């Protein structure tokens, strides 16, 4: 039997995370670990019913990104379920407060967004690092956003998204730090495009669109293709728009 690939996806309850879980489970010999914030939600029960290809299985865990201890608890639960290595981590869970002028930004929104979008992924990295190091090709994918580009704040007026943009910029720094610290890791960040999720449709409306132009299915396909072709030399330590393959300035 072919070797099994283990993928850990946070924010699996909806949107891109849910789409990635479903798509990876359609591939044979894949163990997909999905984390959701609340195991009592209907999303959790729906995910449990996801069909899987031959040799594939789903492990569902709870991980509340607002709780600093949850990533370590999730990794421990994965190990208790028989996980001995992780090949791919997709740090997808995220939060975005409503747009606001700088002078009206709610400071607690900034704190909570940094916790979800930056600090929780750092905690997940620390907990999952020993399992990633057991992979022949460890990959860490940061689900970032073009709003995290400091270069593009003025051209795209993303000062309206202070909490979200700054949290993603910090997330980007951490991604490059991981690339720098681990010569054998592939660690990179992507902008998934304006995808038809709650956050993506919100962003599209800010730009005068009725809804986001990219479907969840198409987004997941492009993300998975990006992961499959990622290399240390051409991908790691960089920031890409997966919808067109262009590199985004930090």
Active site members: 164, 168
**Greatest C-alpha distance within the chain:** 59
* Of the candidates 15, 51, 82, 87, the residue with the CA atom closest to the CA atom of residue 61: 82
List b or e across 50-69, with b for residues whose CB sees 16 or more CB atoms inside 10 angstroms: bebeeebebbbbbbbbeeee
On the CB side of 139, how many CA atoms lie within 13 Å of its CA? 25
Torsion angles phi and psi, residue 208, rounded to 5: 85, 10
Q: CB–CB of 242/191 below 8 Å?
A: yes
* DSSP letters for 89-123: EEE-----PPP--GGG--HHHHHHHHIIIIIHHHH
């Amino acid at each position: 039997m072919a070797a099994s690939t283990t993928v850990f996806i946070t924010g699996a309850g909806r949107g891109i995370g849910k789409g990635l879980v479903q798509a990876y489970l359609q591939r044979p010999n894949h163990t997909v670990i999905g984390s959701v914030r609340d195991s009592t939600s209907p999303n959790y029960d729906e995910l449990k019913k996801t069909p899987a290809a031959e040799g594939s299985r789903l492990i569902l865990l709870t991980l509340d990104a607002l709780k600093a201890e949850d990533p370590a608890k999730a990794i421990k639960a994965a190990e208790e379920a028989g996980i001995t290595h992780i090949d791919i981590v997709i740090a997808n869970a995220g939060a975005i407060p409503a747009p606001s002028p700088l002078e009206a930004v709610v400071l607690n929104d900034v704190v909570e967004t940094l916790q979800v979008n930056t600090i929780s992924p750092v905690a997940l990295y620390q907990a999952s690092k020993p399992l990633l190091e057991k992979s022949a090709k460890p990959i860490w994918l940061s689900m970032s956003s073009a709003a995290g580009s400091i270069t593009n704040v003025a051209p795209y007026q993303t000062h309206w998204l202070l909490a979200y943009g700054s949290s993603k910029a910090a997330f980007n720094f951490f991604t490059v730090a991981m690339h720098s610290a681990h010569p054998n890791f592939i660690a990179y960040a992507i902008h998934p495009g304006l995808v038809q999720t709650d956050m993506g449709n919100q962003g599209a409306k800010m730009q005068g669109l009725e809804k986001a132009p990219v479907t969840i299915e198409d987004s997941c396909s492009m993300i998975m293709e990006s992961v499959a072709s990622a290399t240390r030399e051409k991908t790691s330590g960089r920031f890409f728009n997966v919808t067109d393959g262009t590199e985004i300035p930090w």
